[in-house]
């Protein structure tokens, strides 16, 4: 499994990268901090999972989500955001996000969620 982390915070990208080292089936981790770098990584690296923040400089994570799902509907997208309102969860779900993680409450659940995705995709 390869994972693309899209977040404009170096600290959050670092924490998520450390988490990925704990997930047995994650073999490659890539990083992006904005719309353009995220889409370039999706096109060239073809990750199986994208951990995607909503708040990004320029075009936001919702726009990244739309573009990812246009490029490849099979990529699993996990929204990882401080903006965990019901509105944002619904719009992201409507646009194809597979999961929504609230950074404040569910951040530590990301490794187990990735393991579940791996198991589901390989059965």
Residue span of the structural domain in which 9 resides? 2-68+77-101
Residue 123 belongs to a domain: no
- Return per-residue pLDDT of the chain as tens, 123 residues: 999 999 999 999 999 999 999 899 999 999 999 999 999 999 999 999 999 999 999 899 999 999 999 999 999 999 999 988 899 999 999 999 999 999 999 999 999 999 988 878 775
At residue 120, the pLDDT reads: 80
Residue 52 belongs to a domain: yes
Residue 54 belongs to a domain: yes
Residue 110 belongs to a domain: no
- The 8-class DSSP code of residue 57 comes to S
Query: Which CA distances in Å does 10 have to 27, 34, 47, 53, 123?
Result: 21, 12, 20, 12, 35
Residue 53 · residue 5 · CB < 8 Å: no
Q: Based on the structure, what is the number of domains in the chain?
A: 1
Enter the pTM of the model.
0.95
Residue 8 belongs to a domain: yes
Q: What CATH number corresponds to the domain at position 27?
A: 3.40.50.2300
């Amino acid at each position: 499994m390869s994972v693309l982390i899209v977040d404009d915070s170096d600290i959050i990208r670092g924490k998520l990268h450390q988490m990925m080292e704990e997930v047995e089936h994650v073999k490659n981790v890539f990083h992006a901090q904005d719309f353009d770098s995220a889409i370039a990584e999706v096109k060239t690296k073809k990750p199986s999972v994208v951990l995607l923040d909503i708040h990004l400089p320029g075009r936001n994570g919702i726009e990244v989500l739309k573009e990812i799902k246009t490029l490849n509907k099979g990529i699993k997208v996990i929204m990882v955001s401080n903006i965990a309102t019901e509105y944002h969860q619904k719009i992201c779900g409507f646009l194809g996000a597979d999961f929504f993680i609230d950074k404040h409450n569910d951040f530590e659940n990301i490794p187990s969620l990735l393991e579940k995705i791996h198991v589901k995709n390989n059965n």
